Amino acid sequence: MAITKVPFNSVYGSGEIEESYVSITMPGAPADAKRICRFIHISDLHIATFRPEDPEEEKKTAIDNTKFWTQFKFFVTQDGEGKKKTLTPLESTEVIAERIRALSPDAVFLTGDTVDFPSVTNFMKAKEFMDALNSKCFMAPGNHDRIENGADQALADAFTLAVGTNADFAVDTVFGIDIVRIDDGLGTVTREQVEKLRLQLERGRPTIVLLHAPVMTESVVAPAMGMWGDDLSKWVIGFNKENKENVEFLELLNSNRDHVLSVFAGHVHLITGGGEGKDSGEGFSPDEVLQYTANPTFMGFLRVIDILG
Cα gap 117→177, rounded to integer Å: 31
When pLDDT is averaged across residues 59-67 and rounded to a whole number, the result is 97
| Ordered structural domains, the chain, with CATH | 2-6+15-308 (3.60.21.10)
pLDDT of residue 240: 86
When pLDDT is averaged across residues 182-196 and rounded to a whole number, the result is 95
Average pLDDT, the chain: 92
The answer for 134, left when phi > 0, alpha when psi is -120 to 50, beta otherwise, is: left
pLDDT of residue 88: 96
Is residue 134 predicted with pLDDT exceeding 70?
yes
CA dihedral 228→234→236→241, nearest 10 degrees, is 120
| 246 band by pLDDT with thresholds 50, 70 and 90 | very high
